[in-house]
Amino acid sequence: MREGKFITLLAVLLFSLVGWPFLEIRNSFSAGNQSPNMEIPPEQSEAPSSADEVRQQYLNFFEEVYQTMQENYYLPVTQDDYQRFLKMFDEKIFQQLQDSGKSNDFIRWRSAAYLVDYLKSPEDSFSAFFPPEPAKEYEQEVLGKKIDIGIEGNLTASGYLVTHVEPRSDSYKKGLRGQDIIQKVGLVDVLTVTEEEIRDLLMPFEGTTVVLQYVDAKNQVVKTVEILSEEYFKQTVFMVPINVPDVFCFRIERFNQKTSEDMLNYLNYIGRRGRDTSLILDLRNNPGGPPLAAREISSFFLTPGEDFAYFQKRDKPKSLLTVPAIPEQFHYRGPVVILVNEKSGSASELFSGVMQERGRSVLMGVNTAGKVFLKSMFHFSDESMVLLVTARGYYPDGKAFSFDGVQPDKILSTDDEDELLRLAVNYLLYLRTKKD
């Protein structure tokens, strides 16, 4: 089976090196999506003086990747499989790579990517190798970080209408809000350029500043501010309008270190109403994020101190997560419905599954992605990275999260996203009548 898999990888690798400018490496992006584009930049390090030196550099790097997998991968990685890869590399790949005209860095990174793909389990759709630039992009994405000035909008006849300002961005700190109208970015009048060009101007390099002239929508005065492009955590929780009294919906787009903070802001908002409320948490298309983020938001709904879940690495003791303790006034006690689909993965299905198991929520939709793993990033000296599944997730009672995903209490498959939301609202209204 390994030989057949390797021959397939070998054929694709050789064809990509002579026929394609680059090939997307599969099976690494969050929730089972394809990994980021693995295009290698043209600038490269100085070439070694001989083919033997080049080959030895490859082998040294392969050994480093192999050792990282052997020490950290959630399943055993055998020396026999690794030696088989090296044998095929020496006998069938090395000369072809030398003759392809590709750079040494390209060949090293490409080969390392296929080494990881060869050694990992067929059930593993996460572990993958990333060259430096895709590694940086992936890390920012999976941690929910962003580097820009945090403004989204659309070009109108009056200027660039701001539709969203990231709450943790410098733009928000400097006073910009939705419905403000940007007139100038630096010296550029926004009405003289395209919408795409404006968006490029609003994404300067990290650490640089941009001067904005805009109309404050609240006071209808023209203001000028200097905005710093910096790294921040993106907002992940958003209120979805529900035209039913005391029924609320939060859409959680992914999990990061600030998700619980976002959640608390909205829970405080509905808590100030002083009435019994019902809550829908929409986790559809949420690829997940750090497991600790799922643990943190569980504190709003579950009993403090009780077991939440655990992860277990190969030949290691289990790593137990417990529900954090928070002040009593922040607990939400109303009924909860969670919406999920096949793209709800990782931390989103971890949270959903535990809420269901505890009887604290009803799940609606279709089975989740089945990807409750602990994933870790391991960086190399050239700034490339290997992403590895290092542990599987388990319920507190020892039952593993299924590769088939978390099964909803009410399996409802519909292409109409609003329809599922309406069904969730109707279910909560039904619970309210039963209570009355």
Rounded CA-CA distance 347/369 in Å is 11
Q: How much is the average pLDDT of 144-150?
A: 80
Q: What is the pLDDT of residues 182-229, one digit of tens each?
A: 999 999 999 999 999 999 999 998 899 999 999 999 999 999 999 999
Residue 48, pLDDT above cutoff 70: no
Q: What percent of the chain has pLDDT over 70?
A: 88
Q: What is the pLDDT of residues 332-372, one digit of tens each?
A: 999 999 999 999 999 999 999 999 999 999 999 999 999 89
Domains of the chain: 2-135 (no CATH), 146-232 (2.30.42.10), 237-370+405-435 (3.90.226.10)
User: What is the rounded CA–CA span in Å between residue 320 and residue 257?
Assistant: 19
pLDDT at 144 (0 to 100): 63
For residue 296, which of 240, 354, 222 has the smallest C-alpha distance?
354
Contact 257, 293 (CB under 8 A): yes
- What pLDDT, on the 0 to 100 scale, is given for residue 19? 32
pTM here is 0.76
Least confident of 102-116, 131-145, 147-161, 308-322: 131-145
Q: Let me know: does 120 contact 390? Beta carbons within 8 Å.
A: no
Which structure tokens are listed for 372?
């409750």
The pLDDT score that the predictor gives to residue 116 is 95
* pLDDT bracket for residue 33 (50, 70, 90): very low
Average pLDDT over residues 9-36: 34
The residue ranges of DSSP E strands in 253-384, in sequence order, are 278-282, 307-313, 318-322, 336-340, 362-365, 373-379
Task: Report the C-alpha dihedral over residues 254, 259, 263, 265, rounded to 10 degrees.
Answer: -130
